[in-house]
Structures are given as structure tokens and as C-alpha cells.
Amino acid sequence: SQPSQFAVFGHPIAHSLSPRIHQAFARQFGIALEYRTTDAAPEAFAAAVRGFFAAGGAGANVTLPHKGAASALADERSEAAMRAGSANTLTRLPDGRLAAHNTDGTGLVRDITERHRVDLRGHDALMLGAGGAARAVAWSLLDAGVQTLTIVNRTPETADALADAIGEPARVHTRYWNDLADLGSYDLIVNATSAGVLGGGLKLPMSLVGARALCYDLAYGAAAIDFVAWAKAAGARYAWDGLGMLVEQAAEAFELWHGRRPDTEPVYQALRATV
Ligand code: NDP
């Protein structure tokens, strides 16, 4: 039989690691699949996705800038996709309709709590950024038991909108970027900004880093170097980039499509050697 067809849609997309990750997972189970990258400009995205599934596509991943559109075009949405307002994974239901999922938040939490075995319960967390990725991970961090979540965004209105959407004023607070030096220290600091990717960098006070702090940049590789170096210099217990999250969100998508849970550690290690 023909190998089943998967794709990742983005713009740009050429450097996506998703094909390598999904092929490596598939090999663990002897599954033959095709997984290609599809560059689609925003105005062409919906038609490209519909065409892919109409031609027999079995599942798709979606990355920047299409995650919001992916959730909007689906016929059904998981709770995570609804909360995030965006989707990184599409599955085809038996009747041909499309379901949207967002595995980014679960991917981040699994990387921390399963792969690294760090318990997040009781942590006071600071999240820098309130964009699409921040929205996807905020609920998952709360579900994982962080005690408080403080959201700080360059544009404060976006942080307030996210906190309002979560609706847990006793646990979720927003603060101003200009006040970062006065906030004290945190157990978990998540960099969900794209400052590293965009090359601008962040100027962060070391006073944010608590004695046992875990600092996590959702970006990975070169884009995370500055944040990880800052965290280490400030004495963080752990300072990680988002490569593990990338592999774990892919594992979640793989399980949705294939019903099997891949072993992420060897795939992470193989990518780590190249990123
Ligand atoms: P968005 O464009 O939706 O949001 C960008 C965020 O970064 C906004 O909060 C924006 O603030 C902030 N920001 C951008 N530049 C600066 C700056 N110079 N100083 C301060 N804040 C800044 O992007 P995403 O949320 O989709 O992505 C964020 C990051 O997460 C990216 O690095 C992305 O690669 C990474 N990511 C990693 C994943 C993984 O699997 N490892 C999965 C998904 C995302 P403002 O609102 O003020 O513009």
C-alpha cells in the first residue's frame, strides 16, 4: 500500500525539523510515511490545506504564520486549540472533516516533567511574551500545577487579554515590562518572546532568577543562545532551549495520527547534535 501522506505548512518552512522528527518516530514502529514541507503564503493557506486533505492527506502540522488560520478552518477543535485560539496539528476525522489540535503546551510540559523529570507543582512562574506560543502554553503550565503565573509582555494589553481569557485572577497576574527589575525572583521563567529569533535580544535583570530556577526559552538553537547564557550567568539551576518542546509537541501529534507514543529521547539527542 502507499505510504500515508503528512505535511507541515508554514511560511517560510524550508528549515523545518518536523520531517526529520516524524520520519525518526515512524522508523521506531516500522511505519512508512511521507512527510513533506509545504510553503503557503497566508492567502493560499486554506486552499492548500483543503487540497492536501482532499488528495488523501492523513495529517498536517502547521507553523508560523498559519496557526490561527488552521484552528479557524477546522470543523472541530480540541480544548487546547480553543483555549490557544490556534492549532499546530490537523487530523482528518473518519468522515473527512478536519479537527484542530494544539500540542505546543503539552509538548513544553512533557519536556520539563517527563523527559527532564522536573516537577512544576508549586512553582511561581514568569512568562515573557503573550503571543501565540505564550497563549498555547499558559494553560498547560497551570494544569501542570504552577502556583502562580505572571505574564509580562512588551505590549501590556496583550498580556492583560491573555490573563482575562484564562480567568484565574488568584493565580494569574500581569506586570509591566519596565518593572521587571522590581518583581523579585521566580522558580520558572519561560521566554515566549520571539526577540531571539528576530535578533533584537532581551535585556533582563538577573534578579528574576530564583535559587532553584528553571529557565526555558521556547526558541531553540542560535535564537536561544542569549537567553540561555543570561540564565546560566544568573545562576539558574536549569537553562534550556525549546528543542525538547519541539520534539515533544511532535510526539503528541504523532500519537494523534498513529495512536502510538514514540520514544523522544533518541530523536532529541540526534537533533541536539546538529542544532
Ligand atoms: P508571536 O509573533 O505570536 O509573538 C511574539 C511575542 O514576542 C510577542 O509577545 C511579542 O511582544 C514578543 N516580542 C517580539 N520581539 C520582542 C522584543 N524585542 N522584546 C520583547 N518582546 C518581544 O510568536 P509566537 O508566540 O508564535 O512565538 C514565540 C517564540 O516561541 C518563537 O521564538 C518561536 O520560535 C517559539 N516557539 C517554539 C516552539 C517549540 O516547539 N519549541 C513552538 C512554538 C513557538 P508584542 O506583543 O509586544 O509584540
CATH of the domain at 132: 3.40.50.720
Cα 172–chain centre separation = 20
**HSE-CB of 79 using CA atoms within 13 angstroms:** 5
DSSP tally for the chain: helices H, then strands E = 11, 12
Q: How many domains does the chain have?
A: 2
pLDDT tens digits, 71-109: 999 999 999 999 999 999 999 999 999 999 999 999 999
Query: Chain-wide mean pLDDT for the chain?
Result: 97
Positions marked catalytic: 67
Ligand 1 atom at minimum distance from 246 CA: 40
Say yes or no: 71 and 175 in one domain: no
Q: Which three cell numbers stand for residue 106?
A: 503539552
Say yes or no: 58 and 181 in one domain: no
Contact 25, 17 (CB under 8 A): no
* 16 annotated ligand binder: yes
Say yes or no: 226 and 119 in one domain: yes
Say yes or no: 174 and 146 in one domain: yes
Say yes or no: 65 and 20 in one domain: yes
Using pLDDT thresholds of 50, 70 and 90, give the confidence band for residue 63. very high
Q: What angle do CA 53, 56, 61 make, to 5 degrees?
A: 45
Nearest-angstrom CA–CA distance, 123 and 14: 37
Full domain range(s) for residue 59 = 4-102+245-272
Mean pLDDT of 32-53: 97
- DSSP class of residue 217 equals E
Ligand 1 lined by 200 (C-beta under 6 Å) = yes
Say yes or no: 236 and 110 in one domain: yes
Name the residue of 104, 126, 194 to mutate for ligand 1: max ligand atoms within 8 A of Cβ. Answer: 194
pLDDT of residue 9: 98
Using pLDDT thresholds of 50, 70 and 90, give the confidence band for residue 199. confident
* 184 annotated ligand binder: no
Say yes or no: 122 and 204 in one domain: yes
Contact 224, 196 (CB under 8 A): yes
Using pLDDT thresholds of 50, 70 and 90, give the confidence band for residue 201. confident
Ligand 1 atom at minimum distance from 248 CA: 40
- DSSP class of residue 237 equals S
Mean pLDDT of 178-185: 97
SS (H, E, C) 46-99: HHHHHHHHHCCCCEEEECCCCHHHHHHHCCEECHHHHHHCCCCEEEECCCCCEE
* Residues linked to residue 153 through DSSP beta bridges, in sequence order: 176
Mean pLDDT of 249-262: 98
pLDDT tens digits, 155-172: 999 999 999 999 999 999
Ligand 1 lined by 152 (C-beta under 6 Å) = no
Say yes or no: 175 and 59 in one domain: no
Say yes or no: 24 and 94 in one domain: yes
Say yes or no: 112 and 235 in one domain: yes
Whether the per-residue pLDDT at 1 is higher than 80: the answer is no
Say yes or no: 38 and 89 in one domain: yes
Ligand 1 atom at minimum distance from 200 CA: 18
Nearest-angstrom CA–CA distance, 86 and 67: 5
Using pLDDT thresholds of 50, 70 and 90, give the confidence band for residue 197. confident
Q: What is the pTM of this model?
A: 0.97
Ligand 1 lined by 134 (C-beta under 6 Å) = yes
DSSP strand pairing (4-10 vs 172-176): unpaired
Say yes or no: 82 and 20 in one domain: yes
CATH of the domain at 36: 3.40.50.10860
pLDDT of residue 140: 98
**Helix H segments across 111-150?**
132-143
